[in-house]
Amino acid sequence: MSTFDFGIVGLGVMGRNLLLNIASHKFAAAGLDLDTEKVNSLKEEANPEHSIEATTDVKHFVELIQRPRAIMLLVPAGKPVDSAIQSLLPHLDQGDIIIDGGNTYFTDTDRRFLELSEKGIHFFGMGISGGEKGARLGPSMMPGGDKKAYERLRPIFEAIAAKVDGEPCVEYLGNGSAGNYVKMVHNGIEYGIMQLISEIYDLMKRGYNLDEDTIQKTFEEWNQTDLKSYLIEITGHILKEKDPSGVKLINLISDWAKSKGTGKWTSQNAMDLQVPAPTIDAAVVMRDMSKSKPERIEASAKLIWNQKQTDVNVDEAVKSLKDALFFSILITYAQGLAMLKTASKEYNYELNLETVTKIWRGGCIIRAVVLEDFRKAFTANPELANILLDDNIASKLNESQKGIREIIQFAVQNGIPAAGLMNSLAYFDAYRSENLPTNLIQAQRDYFGAHTYERIDVPGVFHTQWNE
């Protein structure tokens, strides 16, 4: 008893694979699940050389783990997390550690952090990215909570995390709910990039009439360039897959997209912080739009745009598409990183964006070669207000912006929706504008609501009796 290094509550796909990952790295791991079948399934899957125990008994599970105990919850967000915590508490001692490894909204983590602190229990909110395969072979992990307590977790987490150039894709991120918050923004960026890729795919297919094999091979080729990333890689794989009937599987998949809410959380909180994230906003909106399938079918017959398609140079079009995608992906990362910078000050996280970009380079869904450029930028200037102000990133955007302008023009002329691309360019053009037309909005607010305004020639706050 009390000889196991780590415990996991919830032996579903993620919990089971993480526990097997831990055991594969020579740590003794215990699992708890109320479902007997999941407990037995883990025992059957475990290698005889692994030090694994699994049970449905909460008291026995807690007794297995050496003090201070480290127990990770991998259960659905919300009430199941609170229920799991309550079941563990009677058996825990002061100094023990609970880690929530799910996609939990950060304010729930803050609440649990304070409640458990009063009981002498350390609580960590930790984002985990990489899916089923990542959990088993090496995820990216984003822990936040008590820094001293993290030392109990560090050897295990660094062993099981993905590695890039020998560096583990896990590191203590900051205070309180910093880990869950960083994972939320990670998922918002993920939403944005997925939307952008889907728009480029749509333009290739409906706009430029490229055949399916050419589209698939183009994504494969792009993954050998500065676009190299997990999401580009799997797009190439997806577009190659065939149904048993011989038809490309992608053509049989419904366009009614689902979501679990993390993109929406990112968008909502960005508005709370007054940090613009229009590409992420557009991605959330377009998933919502996809759900109105019956209306879209009816509208497709009534809302008509007939534009005679002009001849295009396919090679030039593919180059412009690549530039447009690269440009807009950089912009999406920039929006998420700017949000993290503001949130760190607002919520006292003390985030280091060099650390964040470092642990995103491997294991996670948004891993990409360009993250190394971001890491170098924040290493050179930790106070960088926005990644777009880094000379290297600014140069990449300037070189690729012609492509996105051409692609958006083509999309508009041919009636193909490109909300993600359009919002990325709008963000870029707004950010680089020394003056915006919001002076007129200030005047309008003062006109109808006496909300006052500031002037550029003299200091102070002013109000005009406009209707006189």
228 Cα distance to chain centroid: 17
Contact present, 351 and 285 (Cβ < 8 Å): no
Q: Which two tokens stand for residue 112?
A: 């649990």
- What distance in Å separates the CA atoms of residue 302 and residue 279, rounded to the nearest whole number? 28
Which amino acid is residue 208, in one-letter code? Y
134: nearest Cα among 21, 247, 223, 215:
21
| Calpha distance 214→121 (Å, rounded) | 56
* Token pair in block for residue 300: 């497709």
Q: Give Cα 396 distance to the centre of its chain.
A: 23
Residues forming the active site: 183, 190
Phi, psi torsion values for 350, nearest 5 degrees: 60, 45
Nearest alpha-carbon partner for 87 in 58, 114, 45, 48: 58
Q: Phi/psi of residue 459, each to 5°?
A: -75, 160
Sign (positive or negative) of CA dihedral 170, 175, 176, 178: negative
Per DSSP, what are the bridge partners of residue 71?
7, 98
CA end-to-end distance (rounded Å), the chain: 84
